[in-house]
Amino acid sequence: MNEPIFKEEAQPNAPPVSFADLLEQYRPGFDHYDEAVDSAGHVRSSWSRLFQRLSGMSLPEFERRILQAQKQLELDGVAFNPHDSTRGVSRPWRLDPIPLVLDAQEWQKIERGMDQRAQLADLVLLDLLGPQTLLRERVLPPEILFADPRYLPACHAAVPHPKKHLHLYAADLARSFDGQWWITAERTRSPFGLGYLLENRLVTSRMLPEAFQHCNAVRLASFFITLRQTLKGLAKRYRENPRIAIWSKGPGSRAYFEDSFLARYLGYTLVEGEDLAVRDQRVMLKTLGGLLPVEVLLRRVEDQECDPVELLGGDRQGIAGLMEVVRSGDVTVSNSIGSALAEAPLLLAFLPSVCQHFFGQDLIVPSVATWWCGQEAELQYVLEHMDELLIRNAFRSDDEPPYRPSEMTQAEKQKLVARIREQPHRFVGQERMVRSTTPVYEDGRLQTWSLALRAYAVAKNNSYQILPGALARVSPDPEVLSHNMTSGEKSQDVWIVSDQSVPHVSLLENSVQETELKRAGAELPSRVADNLFWLGRNLERSEQIARLVRLVLQELTGEAAASAGTHGLLKACRRAKLLDKPEKLDDEYLLAQEITRGALDRKVAHSLRGVVMVSHATAAKVRDRLAIDCFRVITELRDLLGSVNSDARIAPTDFMTVLDEAITLTNAISGFASESMTRTLGWRFLDLGRRIERAYQTSQLLLSLLPMEDEKFELNNSLENCLQVCDSFMTYRGRYLANIQLAAVLDLLITDETNPRSIAFQLQAITQHVDRLPRPDTQASISPEQRIALSLSNSVRLADVVELGVKVREGDWSNLQKLLRRLVEQLPKLSDAISGKFLIHAGLQRHFARS
Amino acid sequence: MSCTTYKIEHTTTYSYESPVRICHNIVMLYPRSSNVVQPSYYRITVKPHPETLVRREDYFGNQLHSFSLNESHKQLVVSASGRVKVSYAALVEPTATEAWEMVREAVDAKTDRNWFDACQYRFPSPRIDIDARYASFARRSFLKNRPIVEAALDLTQRIFREFKYDAEATEVYTPTAAAFEMRHGVCQDFAHVQIACLRSIGLSARYVSGYLRTVPPPGKEKLIGADQSHAWVSLYCGQTVGWVDLDPTNNRSCDTDHIPIAWGRDYNDVIPVRGVFLGGGEHSIQVSVDVQELPQAVNAD
């Protein structure tokens, strides 16, 4: 018998070749509700279109698209900083290729439920921070306000106009066995996740474009258009075009990716606390053009961190004196400061009665069963049923994972019981949710993972508009999903599908246009200008180092062997601190290794790796100001150098390939800067940094490479090296062929204003830039930075290279040396003058000591 | 009812090594009117002059002033001066008051007329946590069914005896728990500790900031400016007695020597001068408080 014996049995496990095979093997258990397949094993009707489209796809094609999508996520820099600190390592955002599909009709019920919830949460806040009738009439226990550690009496009675505290609201949802949705938690301070949700949609719709079209998934743009209108409606002044800013906690915070993403998507300025100040009862944005009033702040900052004067927190992130301005209505903070109160899990226990109180209705979407231990009967229940429950802090639901008594040792459990008994009001017991499952593509199979959804609502007139989609988190372990937003293994896009085709609303383009029309210039916060300036300097420095190292490695390892000009290159390496030994040419390969190691040194900031890392970190701080592609290339550059393992001693010849690529990437970045950035002040500071650095590096290089200090190395070789490192060799060849002449080289590198690599070219650009920087109208004479730039530019322009050449031939380098030394000395002063005038920071605000 | 009128002058001077460019401040130096205190001719002055000096009432009913300075300055002087008339009702007979558990129950069950007001001072606040250690310290005074004022006076006395007044041991941001461990501190710490003890057994207690009239040693003349800001505790003792003020630093219930200015859940709610500034380098603070009793003739009006 030649037939395989196990044919029949083997078939279910046969390696899948198409998506249809995957689907064939998808077998959800019967103890959960499965989103895609019903209990009879049939694909639910809302999913059939998706599966129809996917079934035709071969697995290699599917895999290829997943890889592409993952690459896009990495390059977009989508990552999670799990802790609000820089030391926490950020983990990459994992997006599953399979979207979660929900039927539009079913979604309508969630929409009504979300609208009701958001309205309730807003009414509760208006009352708690206002008349407190809910407490006086005993609908809610006083603990809900007075015992909440986040309660800030200073926020009392600061009601914005229109009278609403919540403009954005989110709720976490889970589905039980019978198909019923439950709300497990509410988010009322600054709901997290919208940026990730958008990114999921952009990536998934690009990964599966046919399916996305075919399924009629509802577009998200309408939600963001409403968000923009709502925020605009909060402005007291300039209602036509108010200045709205996203107030972020900065690059170290876990939401920074999302903050910068939303800032760009919505067309708002991304600011941090130090960009803002209160002057004359207004919140002002500190920009290069002076102070500009801000009307609305979409905040990420914690309640108590908003104002260091009144709320005593947030020395770094907060805005001193903000509360007074909020009270006067001259700025609106969204959501209102103090709105975190409505997130307390203990509120869930009372929501049914609050809903009756306000609306005379039941909750449309119920909450997961919650027992507050501050009541005698509930306390007893929780203590008796501990093993079936989760125990949570009654006031916070986010940064603290719940206790699971069933998994605790007897001793741990006793300790917990003692804590609950001591201060029962600080705890709630919550039913452990049985969650629904949904298909997830993992390890080459479709697996049944548990699902958690986060849905979003935005205020619109007297009700809320619900985002037609959600952020899905999935995990093989349902318990993990109860932690908080950052828990879960993967995320999925959520498609609300209907039978009718959906009107096409373009995502990014249409919704963003309106603002930023006339204010592109002076709007620039000083902090951003500072970062752009240093980004320019560091990128240029990366390129210069890469060119220098490439050339020196070529010389040391190449067949020509070390020429007489190599001495100069080694000297330049030493000056750039890439080499700490005196340059001896005994063992060229060893030297090459030494320089390679120096360039890759992780521990110092001036190595090539160090400078590239700093460039990337600086770029990350201003990523909302850079073209997306530009930031991608900077990330590629970082990854390129980050991937080289310096400890394993990479061969210098291999490193040269890396350098080739690095130089290509730095050129690509310059290309973006010159071709993709509008000529705003931001671009000016980036370019200014780059020009100053290039002029400085070139001057340094000439000082090192030319045999000035009666060194014996050969002139022609040195000149050639200068041309190489300054990327002007081809230009020179084109002009003068192989004839290397000192005067001609000096002209090309120093005085030729048509060569974009020459010092004169840089100084001309610098002079133009500093002339166009904002300055007071009253200023009569020229500024210090103008004076330095002009004087340097003039002395370079007036330099007579032929005369210099003649002198050098006579062995007198002093005039050239003097000119270059002056540049090396004055350029840092120019940089300082610019920093001091435009980029200086206000410094840290401090509290009065004991009074 | 005894009654005294004082003239008060409280001046705080901040001196900076280098100029301060900007500062934002809130001061809580203006006495809140109550059945105990009636201020008159009271003024808050700031030098250099701010463009606006806004007065408003905070959530707890205290008077506060806020101002910002945008002009460069090397010295900031905030002074509060005026007259106050202080009248305290005589303290009830401590042994005749309600059992402390009854007070607690009436507030918890919301049957007490003032339960809502009392509730606000019953839970942990930013500077004062509640804890079993405070509770067991308190229980040694709050014996079963003991009249609440008697028990509270006993606790006041025990803090006075067991804690050492020591201005070096703590500073303004010392946590209450640390002062409790050390058994050292100043009026602020004693008040925080006593409030923590009272709240830990379920009673409502608030933090009072104000002044204390000091009597010079016999034969010595009173030094101007030698008085100090002071702080003490107010305990809710049920709807018949109301709030009773206790001074653990001096082991007594409060009388007309005590001039309350503001009250809240703890020190953070009633900081006399708070604010942030930019620049300034090193800075030093000089505080001068002068509390002068005015003759009876003035009391009459």
Q: What is the mean pLDDT of each run of 10 residues along chain A (851 residues)?
A: 40 74 87 92 92 91 91 73 42 86 95 97 96 96 95 89 93 94 94 92 92 90 93 86 91 84 87 88 84 92 93 85 93 95 95 97 96 96 95 81 91 95 94 92 92 96 95 89 70 89 52 39 74 91 93 80 72 83 70 86 85 90 82 90 74 89 92 80 90 93 81 77 88 82 89 92 93 70 85 90 84 88 91 74 59 38
What is the CB-side half-sphere exposure of residue A729 using CA atoms within 13 A?
13
Q: Which residues contact A358 (CB under 8 A, 6 or more apart)?
A: A120, A123
Q: Which two tokens stand for residue A20?
A: 């249809």
- Tell me which residue of A154, A199, A473 sits closest to A323, measured CA to CA: A154
Closest-CA residue of chain B to A312: B268
* Separation between Cα atoms, residue B208 and residue A311, nearest integer Å: 19
CA distance A490 to A94: 5
Q: Where do runs of H (alpha helix) occur along A45-101?
A: 45-55, 59-75
Helix axes A256-266, A221-233, angle to 10 degrees: 80
**In B, which residues are within 8 Å of A138 by CB distance?**
110
Which chain B residues are Cβ-neighbours of A330 within 8 angstroms?
A: none
d(CA B63, CA B54): 10
**Better-scored residue on pLDDT, A842 or B119:** B119
Q: What is the dihedral of CA B12, B16, B20, B23, to 10 degrees?
A: -30
Taking a C-beta distance cutoff of 8 angstroms, is the pair A565, A714 a contact? yes
pLDDT of residue A504: 57
Q: Which of B17, B64, B25 is nearest to B47 (CA)?
A: B25
What torsion do the CA atoms of A142, A143, A149, A151 make, to the nearest 10 degrees? -20
Which token pair is A58? 């071969």
Q: Where are the domain boundaries for CATH 3.10.620.30 in chain B?
A: 89-269
Per the listing, tokens 């039941």 go with A362
Q: Which of A184, A209, A220 is nearest to A451 (CA)?
A: A184
What's the confidence (pLDDT) of residue B218?
Answer: 78
- Best A143, A146, A325, A326 member to test B by mutation, with max B CBs in 10 Å, is A146
Closest CA to A156 of B19, B120, B25, B192: B120
- In this structure, CATH architecture of domain B89-269: Roll (3.10)
CA gyration radius, chain B:
20
Answer whether B51 sits within 8 Å of A142, measured CB to CB. Answer: no
Q: What is the DSSP letter of A367?
A: B
Q: Which segment of A459-463, A483-487, B186-190, B283-287 scores lowest on mean pLDDT?
A: A483-487
User: Scanning the structure block, which residue is given the tokens 């004693």?
Assistant: B190
Q: In which residue ranges of chain B is CATH 2.60.40.2250 found? A: 2-87+271-300
Whether B227 contacts B210, CB under 8 Å: no
Q: For position A5, what pLDDT does the model report?
A: 37
- Window A:407-466, CB contacts with B under 8 Å: 422-423, 425
What is the nearest CA distance from A405 to chain B, expressed in angstroms? 23
Q: Residue A309: which of B51, B274, B278 has the nearest Cβ?
A: B274
CB proximity A142 to B under 8 Å = yes
Q: Which of A333, A318, A254, A311 is nearest to A844 (CA)?
A: A318
What's the confidence (pLDDT) of residue B220? 76
Nearest to A114 by CA among A168, A70, A42: A168
- Distance from the Cα of B297 to chain A's closest Cα (Å) equals 34
- Asked if B14 and A848 come within 8 Å (Cβ–Cβ), the reply is yes
Q: How many Å lie between the alpha carbon of B296 and the closest alpha carbon of chain A?
A: 32
Q: Which of A438, A439, A452 is nearest to A482 (CA)?
A: A452
| Domains of chain A listed by start with CATH number | 1-234+356-368+437-502 (no CATH), 373-432 (3.30.1490.270), 527-677 (no CATH)
Q: Which of A418, A491, A376, A451 has the alpha carbon at shortest distance from A79?
A: A491
- B251: three-class secondary structure by DSSP: coil
pLDDT of residue B191: 97
Residue A515 confidence (pLDDT): 37
Give CA separation, A633 vs A627, A680, A687, in Å. Answer: 10, 21, 17
Interface list for A 251-280 with B (CB within 8 A): 277-280
Domain B2-87+271-300 has CATH 1.10.620.20: no
